[in-house]
Amino acid sequence: MGDERPDIGILFSAVHRAYAERLGRRIASAGLGEVRPAHLFVIRMLAQNDTTITALARRLGTSKQAAVALVDELEEAGLAVREPLATDRRVKIIALTPRARTLLSEICLAGREIEEELADRVGPSMAQSLRCALQEFIDMSGGVDHVMALRTRGCW
């Protein structure tokens, strides 16, 4: 009948969904509320540096209107604020709130715990091999910065 193993693309998509689900449960159990994956991506991006709506839209590969809606959601959740740029008060910078920084710390901690769970299940050597293989795949695709700047689209 042929190879019954799932295609690697299915595995990548399934791993992403499983990771997001585990992360979401950990965030909720920490009392930090319901946070959408799109919010987490933007929070991680803003942790690197504050940005404008235009730059955010470009990075997300979406319209300015969609970026505004996402920032509105972040503001309503107490995760971001719009602040005037010191050199041009007409320009608004999107910045993280202390609550978002707490959330980011919890995300990083949860990510390490999930990785430790995997290592406990498959062994440290296999977990490290997986990490190396994933990094190699990312490097083949242009590196982490390039890949993370791409617009995310479902592939399956």
What is the span of the domain harbouring residue 141? Answer: 8-149
Residue 72 lies in a domain: yes
DSSP string computed for 55-104: HHHHHHTS-HHHHHHHHHHHHHTTSEEEEEETTEEEEEEEEE-HHHHHHH
Region for 63 from its dihedrals, namely left if φ exceeds 0, alpha if ψ lies in -120 to 50, beta otherwise: beta
Please state the domain count of the chain.
1
154 located within any domain: no
Position 12 in a domain:
yes
Predicted TM-score (pTM) of the model is 0.75
Predicted local confidence at residue 120, as pLDDT: 98
* CATH label of the domain that carries residue 46: 1.10.10.10
Task: Tell whether 48 is covered by a domain.
Answer: yes
Domain-located, residue 58:
yes
Residue 35: exposure state from Cβ atoms within 10 A (0-12, 13-18, ≥19): buried
Tens place of pLDDT for every residue, the chain, 156 residues? 567 888 998 999 899 889 988 988 888 887 777 777 778 888 888 888 888 999 988 888 889 999 999 999 999 989 999 999 889 888 899 999 999 999 899 889 989 999 999 999 999 999 999 999 999 999 999 998 788 777 655 544
Answer yes or no: is 130 within a domain. yes
